[in-house]
Structure 1
Amino acid sequence: MRHTGSGPNATHARQPETSGCAVAVGAVCDKMAATQWLRWLVLLRCGAALCAGLYFHIGETEKKCFIEEIPDETMVIGNYKTLMYDKQREDYLPSPQGLGMFVEVKDPEEKVVLSRQYASEGRFTFTSHIPGEHQICLHSNSTKLSLFASGMLRVHLDIQVGEHANDYEQIAAKDKLSELQLRVRQLIEQAEQIQKEQNYQRYREERFRGTSESTNQRVLWWSIVQTLILILTGIWQMRHLKSFFEAKKLV
């Protein structure tokens, strides 16, 4: 009688396959674990970059401008902090007293909404009255401070628009609101902000439609003008050739 799959020989023959599978599975698991760790590292790095916020460098007489699309009747708050470069320490340190930032804001019609000089650290606030692209410009009063001459200044800037600009903890403490009342107020302001955004998008759509219709009309009129020019040129050429042939007595 034959016994397949039993006996010491069969057992020893299967052992290498089992160990090979275990090694392969272990390698796959290690690779998956390494990939997972790599993803976590990337997420942590991105989170650290987001926590660092936006900053930029400006020179002594340099001006930096940012364009922000803002609906009408929307409050905007900008928080900033300036750091001066120290050549001895080769690092950015808090700015000294006397160094300030000049902030200027213009609406889409180039009208000045805000023009004021602030300290080296603080916030500026304004409310938009016209929907569209608002220009926010910052530059330092470096001409009044000789320490900043030919140096670089790092400016950390955080711009908050609409309901994101509200400090709800301060509002709750001031108006003595409960958690439920505060949440309801947040939802109401979020709904109002969404409505403003919708109105602004509708305004942009109407403006884009007007621009498209105007462009189409101009293209149509230009095509008509080109056609008339070609017709008049053809008539002139025919009359010129006819007079030429008549002068040469070919006709």
Structure 2
Amino acid sequence: MALPLLLGQLLALMGHGGAFYLEVRELEEKCFIQEIPDGTVVIGNYKTELYDPAMEKYQPSPQWINLFVFVKDPENKNLLARQYGPQGSFTFTSQSPGEHQICLHLESIRFALFYDGKLAIHLDMQLGEHTNDYVEFAAKDKLTQLHLRVQQLVEQVELIQKEQEYQRWREERFRQTSESTNQRVLWWSILQTLILVATGVWQMQHLKSFFKAKKLV
């Protein structure tokens, strides 16, 4: 019983995505950053709503409204660029660890009907092990509860290992950034010292020449 409890506590500390609520207008792009370890499956479940001025509330969007999803990895490479319907899900797998940029915008086929309309996007992001449907796995592979639990634990351990590797990668990147910053500060301090010494020497030479010209020395 200790192992599942420990795994549960560790997983509770990890980022598993999150729920987002966005209000937008047509062609207005909304972007956010999600930190994702490499080799992680990400699923975004979403639904869109169109504001109805007559009822003064949001209603489910009609089929002629499309959602465009763009995902870029930390190296600014496109992982996903695709058009979807008013409700559904999108999936991508991270290729490198770090901050991924996810951008969404809505367009309508019937532009005249939708012009200057307001929309809302409900988005639920699921990462890693949370993207698996274990009920479907159990039914498909005819797994017992024990086998299913073992499979869950194995995948949770793999997720913990990925998260640990990602944290080590972040620490290494932070260390490199700190060392680079410290080195630049050191060289800047040395340069300032050299400038001050050179300025002092020049002032002494200038004063010496001045005193000689005035025959004070």
Instruction: Report if the CA contact (8 A) 2:34-2:101 is conserved.
Output: yes
Judge which range, 136-145 or 61-70, deviates more.
Answer: 136-145
Deviations 1:31-88 (A, max 9, x none): xxxxxxxxxxxxxxxxxxxxxx532111122111121110000000000000101111
The unaligned stretches of length 5 or more in structure 2 are: 1-18
Please point out which of 95, 100, 107 is paired with 2:73. 107
Please point out which of 177, 183, 187 is paired with 1:221. 187
Q: 1:243 matched to which residue of 2? A: 209
Please point out which of 91, 95, 107 is paired with 1:125. 91
Counterparts of residues 1-251 of structure 1 (less than 5 Å): 54-142=20-108, 145-251=111-217
Provide the C-alpha distance between the structure 1 equivalents of 2:110 and 2:66, rounded to a whole number of angstroms: 9
Provide the C-alpha distance between the structure 2 equivalents of 1:116 and 1:242, rounded to a whole number of angstroms: 75
Aligned pair in 2 of structure 1 residues 110, 144: CA closer, same or farther (>3 Å)?
farther
Q: Which has the larger radius of gyration?
A: 1
Could you say what secondary structure the match of 1:96 adopts? Answer: coil
Could you say what secondary structure the match of 1:130 adopts? Answer: coil
Provide the C-alpha distance between the structure 2 equivalents of 1:70 and 1:101, rounded to a whole number of angstroms: 23
Aligned pair in 2 of structure 1 residues 143, 224: CA closer, same or farther (>3 Å)?
farther
Could you say what secondary structure the match of 1:208 adopts? Answer: helix
The unaligned stretches of length 5 or more in structure 1 are: 1-52
Q: CA RMSD in A?
A: 1.2
Instruction: Report if the CA contact (8 A) 2:73-2:101 is conserved.
Output: yes
Provide the C-alpha distance between the structure 2 equivalents of 1:228 and 1:124, rounded to a whole number of angstroms: 58
Aligned pair in 2 of structure 1 residues 143, 226: CA closer, same or farther (>3 Å)?
farther
TM-fit CA distance, 1:144: 5.0
Task: Provide TM-score, normalisation by structure 1.
Answer: 0.77
Provide the C-alpha distance between the structure 2 equivalents of 1:67 and 1:112, rounded to a whole number of angstroms: 14
Which has a greater percent of strand? Answer: 2
Which has a greater percent of helix? Answer: 1
Provide the C-alpha distance between the structure 2 equivalents of 1:56 and 1:192, rounded to a whole number of angstroms: 33
TM-fit CA distance, 1:143: 6.8
Tell me which of the two structures has the higher relative contact order, counting C-alpha pairs closer than 8 angstroms and 6 or more residues apart: 2
One-letter amino acid of the counterpart of residue 202, structure 1:
R
Provide the C-alpha distance between the structure 1 equivalents of 2:85 and 2:142, rounded to a whole number of angstroms: 32
Task: Provide TM-score, normalisation by structure 2.
Answer: 0.89
Provide the C-alpha distance between the structure 1 equivalents of 2:202 and 2:110, rounded to a whole number of angstroms: 71
